[in-house]
Amino acid sequence: MELSVLTYEIIDNVAVIEMNNPPVNALTPAFLNDFNQVLGNLKGDNKSRAVLLASACQGFFSTGDDVNELKEIDEHMISLLPKVHELMNDLETLPLPTVAAINGHALGGGLELALVCDFRFMGKDSGRIGLPEVRLGMIPAFGGTQRLPMIIGKTKAVEMMFKGLAITPEEAKQIGLINDIFPQQDLNERCLDYTKRLARQATGAIARIKSCVNTGLYEGLEKGLAREMTAFRENIFSPDVKEGIDAFLSGRKPAFTEEGPDSA
């Protein structure tokens, strides 16, 4: 892959994606192109069992857009929205556990990018997190109006969006927007360790759990339950189930081997 604003490497079965599009990791066409390449690679790479999304830009995870560029918004920029939504959907439905290491401000599209990850961690005193578009007379347009209420509930989500609130890591943890707060200097290492532990889990089962959860959230209970039954039938005869039961009965740690993206 020839990447311009992302770096990508595999560390102990963890695909580490680092954003490096200074100053604010804006979701530019180059960013979208890089990310689509990486996701395409992940879908065909059975070595990866989990994903860590991090930032190389000091003080910023991502702000989505560079405000200076919004002064010249045109139909071409608007035409990129479907591509952004496709990227977000692809990352959200990726059949691997995904972790966002939020090292700085995650605002607007940056938070919307973090929302599609399964887990979100922030560094202490790292910055603010929120969807402040209304302060510019705008609305969130990368999926935030849909995903934020699902994660923290409608009441708090509309308060954040209506007021354009950008909240601290402590406030974000309190409302369930992030999972935990790590010391800023340890953030990436702690997140990598967390992601490595996820990579040792039953990846095939995780892929199916994600599929069931997303089906229920977006398509309703009936379809979610139908997907759950199908996934159980697919999963119950897998080698990982046999390994998990044998390991439990013999008092040892399981060694799951079912491959990731292609297994579900």
Q: Give catalytic residues, as residue numbers.
A: 112, 133
Say if CB 39 and CB 74 are below 8 A apart: no
| Distant-in-sequence contacts of 224-231, Cβ < 8 A, 24+ apart | 231/264
* DSSP classification of residue 19: E
- DSSP per residue, 75-112: HHHHHTHHHHHHHHHHHHT-SS-EEEEE-SEEETHHHH
List the beta bridge partners of residue 129: 106, 167
Amino acid at 170: E
Strands 98-102 and 119-123 come out as: parallel
Adjacency order of strands within the sheet including 119-123:
6-11, 14-19, 50-55, 98-102, 119-123, 180-182
d(CA 116, CA 140) in angstroms, rounded, equals 14
d(CA 182, CA 191) in angstroms, rounded, equals 9
